[in-house]
Amino acid sequence: MIDHIAILTESQERLNESLPGFCRGLEPELQPAEGTLERYVLIDGLSGLKLLLMEPVADGPYSSALSRRGSGLHHIALLIKSFEAFFESDNGLRLLLHPYSIQSIEYGTLWLCRPGIPFLVELTECDKLDDSMDEFTDKLQPGPSCVITIPVNESNRAEEVWQLSAEVKIQTGSQSEIIVEIENFSPIEFNS
């Protein structure tokens, strides 16, 4: 299940103010250990998927990533039943374990990466997760773009598009859905 999509930005406040009305930003929280000011954004009608706006406020890996790559998609966070089951399955991602995982596994989190792919995948074990919690109709799969279609209860939303960064956009659909699209999801071949 996708927990959140994290976007690295120069100003989480400015990005939050530009979001559509059905997105509600929570109060920003300073994360001194990370060197970031972070704000979760809830999407009305959903209990699962969130956006995470991350603004570097101190030297560290996030300020370094912002200066190297600029604003944009930083990571996609997945809740999974177990690391073992995830890696034994054919999840289609073909990613490598990031060295930081040696430290983060202590907190129940692993990080995946691959040279040439400009974002990370965060895996967090969640023992309360079951198959019924996966409310998304499209799975996270490599391709020219990753489209996550999220059913919502409202049917009277107009079709609109908000470009959050060069590669992430949110679109309201006319069929009672919100679509989160991540462009250039596989800039290199995953199968190599």
Q: Is 157 a domain residue?
A: no
Give the residue among 24, 42, 115, 15 at the shortest CA–CA distance from 7.
Answer: 15
What residue ranges of the chain have pLDDT lower than 70?
Answer: 45-47, 90-93, 129-192
In three-state form (DSSP H/G/I as H, E/B as E, the rest C), the secondary structure along the chain is CEEEEEEECCCHHHHHHCCCCCEEECCCEEECCCCEEEEEEEECCCCCCEEEEEEECCCCHHHHHHHHHCCEEEEEEEEECCHHHHHHCCCCCCCEECCCHHHHHHHCEEEEECCCCCCEEEEEECCCCCHHHCCCCCCCCCCCEEEEEEECCCCCCCCEEEECCCCEEEEEECCCEEEEEEECCCCCCCCC
pLDDT at 176: 53
pLDDT at 99: 94
Give bridge partners of residue 5 from the DSSP assignment: 51, 76
Nearest-angstrom CA–CA distance, 72 and 171: 17
Q: Is 149 a domain residue?
A: no
pLDDT at 22: 75
Residue-wise pLDDT tens digits, 9-44: 999 999 888 887 778 899 999 999 899 999 999 877
Q: Is 28 a domain residue?
A: yes
How many domains does one find in the chain? 1
Q: Is 43 a domain residue?
A: yes
Q: Is 189 a domain residue?
A: no
pLDDT at 87: 82
| 38-to-28, 54, 65 alpha-carbon distances in Å | 5, 5, 15
pLDDT at 186: 38
Q: Is 186 a domain residue?
A: no
Q: Is 160 a domain residue?
A: no
Give the residue among 94, 1, 3 at the shortest CA–CA distance from 43.
Answer: 3
Q: Is 100 a domain residue?
A: yes
Residue 12's domain spans which residues?
2-135
Assign residue 106 the CATH number of its domain.
3.10.180.10
**pTM of this prediction exceeds 0.85:** no
